[in-house]
Amino acid sequence: MMAHKFRSLISNKIIQVLDGFPIGDRGVKPSTLIPYIQVDPKAGSKPEFQVSLKALQQQGLINNDLRNQKDFISCGSALIEKFDTDPTIPGIYLVQDKTDVRLNFKVNNSQLVSEVVKITTHRPNSFWRCSALVNLLPFQKVVVEYSSPNIAKPFHIGHLRSTIIGNFIANLHAALGHNVTRINYLGDWGTQFGILKYGYDARNITEKDLEEDAIKKLYEVYVWANQKAESDPSVSSKARDIFNKMEQGDNRELETWEFFRNVSIKEFKHVYERLNVKFDEYHGESMYSAQKCQEVLKLLEQKNLLQTLEDGRKVYEVNPKQKVTVVKSDGSSIYLSRDIAAAIHRQEEYKFTKMYYVVDNSQSDHFVALFSIIRNLGFEWAESMTHIKFGRIQGMSTRKGTAIFLQDLLDEAQEIMMQKQQETETTRDDVRLSGAETAGRVATSCVLIGDMKQRRQRDYVFSWDKALQSRGDTGVKLQYVHCRLLSLEGNCGVDYNPEANTSCLTEPQALTLIMEIARFDEVLVQTYRELEPCILVSYLFKLCGTINNAIKLLQVKSAPLEVAEARLALFMAARHTLAAGMNILGVKPLSKM
Ligand code: ARG
């Protein structure tokens, strides 16, 4: 129920008014209206919901003849006249601005407060799931593919963003009750493995050398061999031979390759752990080697979708201006053909109703081609695939250089954070003792929030200073407010009482906080519609501001028992809301800092 009870009540009442109303539509279900009934963002401490008349018109509930402000006002007034107020919804009035006319509904303060606090404290890990708004979303079987680094090449910033944003998308779907499969699709196939293996042999490297820092060492070897290949064509041809052997299933070559793959995954997993990221499956391009791609090729040829060029390549025409290679002249598989095979395999395996590829903007053309091919192969599920794009980050480099190894990045963030902690006098002693661990986790929160604060598609300039600031909108703030609430709960001298009398929460600061909490489901749904983490991030910052104001004014310790219990319940509701939001973003809430 939560604030959702009010949404349902209001929509039922609107429907009653519309029914028999000259311009209204009959037979409308409340579910049509619920998404349009929103907490009034300007209400402040007044518990009010609102609905836009323009939105009702878009739903076909109000006559299209209404064009100007005056028409809308007279329609709104007529609706108000017919509307029956009652103790739960004691008032209704019109609000107008330049672009719209809205109906505002006053709701019963103490009923709203009690609903919101109770549901949030009783079901801290799922309170938003009882929202009618959330329940209107159709169930999805979702595959989210994210991170997908290349083995033996550095994990670059694009992979970091994919990891952060993809993890968020998977968390969000899971929080909303969908079935989610998280896939890491490793770049573990292709001629670069021939080059790597060539370098590995030529420099007499052994497995023992790779016991530590395997990814960095493999990368060094790869760079070395690549440079050599540039000046010596025989290296490239050797590398190609090695890869061809791999494609044909040569055990000796595959053994080394498998070793590279395993040590890399092992290291990636450490870093993912620091980032609080998990996968259900580690897939890789290697699963779709030449043979699998042969089947794809057959399908494409049956449908007459390929042209053979003079040089022997087989290409697919995405549009008259864009042709893409699907098969190389030597018949070996490539990135695109592997992706076609992978998509088909995933549909068979997971029967997804949605699949998200979380990959940077620069691969847009690739995904346009992939989706077009799947569509033209006649797979109706082509429409359920989406490329979740994101922009570049400029200026994110570590002291050691611009090729980013994620581990260095996180280490550096942690170091800077520790320095900052030591400089801050107000840092509590026990925090200084728990030093590195806490600093590491706060720093990770900062990296995550710093990234998700922006609209996905925007390129942005990264600055350590900005991301790790303790003031302003950073990960530090979210963690700090969360810890502050927990410490308040532990030190306020009263115990949580599920039956607390919440009707003593009448101060504007308390009501503003309630309204902010009541908005959580709306924010989740909007975040889900746009798959933009920044919507949730900016909500959480606003929530933190509201919490801070409330903490200042609503003392718990010194208040009479009844009031203290009610305030404690309110602050717990606020903490659960904050924690739920942070968890969805992949930021693990800390208990002290
Ligand atoms: N490994 C690729 C890269 O680093 C990204 C893979 C994206 N996913 C896909 N299905 N193509 O560029």
CATH of the domain at 203: 3.40.50.620
Domain-located, residue 58 = yes
Q: What is the ipTM of this complex?
A: 0.99
Q: Specify the DSSP class assigned to residue 264.
A: H
Q: Which residue has the higher pLDDT, 89 or 3?
A: 89
Domain of residue 83, residue span: 3-107
pLDDT digit string, tens, across residues 150-168: 887 777 778 889 999 999 9
Q: Residue 467 pLDDT more than 80?
A: no
How many contiguous H segments (helices) and E segments (strands) does the chain have? Answer: 22, 14
Find out whether the beta carbon of 371 lies less than 6 Å from any atom of ligand 1.
no
Q: What pLDDT band is residue 399 in, cutting at 50, 70 and 90?
A: low
Active-site residue, 314 included:
no
- Give 188 or 157, the one with higher predicted confidence: 188
Residue 1 has pLDDT above 50, yes or no: no
Q: What is the pTM of this model?
A: 0.93
In a domain? residue 578: yes
Centre of ligand 1 to C-alpha 387, Å, is 11
**531 lies in the same domain as 444:** yes
Q: How confident is the model at residue 170 (pLDDT cuts 50, 70, 90)?
A: very high
- Interacting residues of 533 by C-beta distance below 8 A, sequence separation 6+: 165, 168, 452, 456, 527, 585
Q: Point out the catalytic residue in the list 4, 5, 106, 159.
A: 159
Question: For this structure, is 270 an active site residue?
Answer: no
Per-residue CA distances from 50 to 23, 135, 464, 514 (Å): 20, 20, 41, 16
Determine which of 10-24, 233-247, 447-461, 537-551 has the lowest per-residue pLDDT on average: 10-24
Q: Assess whether 83 and 156 both reside in one domain.
A: no
Residues 31 and 162 in one domain: no
- 73 and 175 assigned to the same domain: no
| pLDDT over 60 at 402, yes or no | no
Atom of ligand 1 nearest to the CA of 342: 10
Tell me, in angstroms, the distance from the centre of ligand 1 to residue 163's CA: 12
**Does any domain span residue 409?**
no
- In a domain? residue 431: no
Model confidence at 394, pLDDT cuts 50, 70, 90, reads confident
Question: How far apart (Å, rounded) are the C-alpha atoms in residues 371 and 324?
Answer: 13
Q: What is the pLDDT of residue 191?
A: 85
State how many domains the chain has: 3
The answer, yes or no, to whether residue 441 has pLDDT greater than 60, is yes
DSSP 340: H
What distance in angstroms lies between residue 321's CA and the mean position of ligand 1's atoms?
Answer: 24
User: Does ligand 1 have an atom closer than 6 angstroms to the CB of 147?
Assistant: no
Residues 6+ apart with CB under 8 A from 285: 185, 186, 187, 188, 189, 190, 335, 338, 342
CA of 185 to the centre of ligand 1 (A): 7
Q: Same domain, yes or no, for 461 and 369?
A: no
> How does pLDDT run across 444-456, given as a tens digit for each residue?
999 999 999 999 9
The confidence band for 269, taking pLDDT boundaries of 50, 70 and 90, is: very high
Comparing 137 with 33, which gets the higher pLDDT? 137
Q: Which of 65, 81, 107 is the last residue of a domain?
A: 107
Give the atom of ligand 1 at the shortest distance from the alpha carbon of 335. 11
- What pLDDT shows up at residue 184? 98
Q: Quick one: pLDDT at residue 433?
A: 46
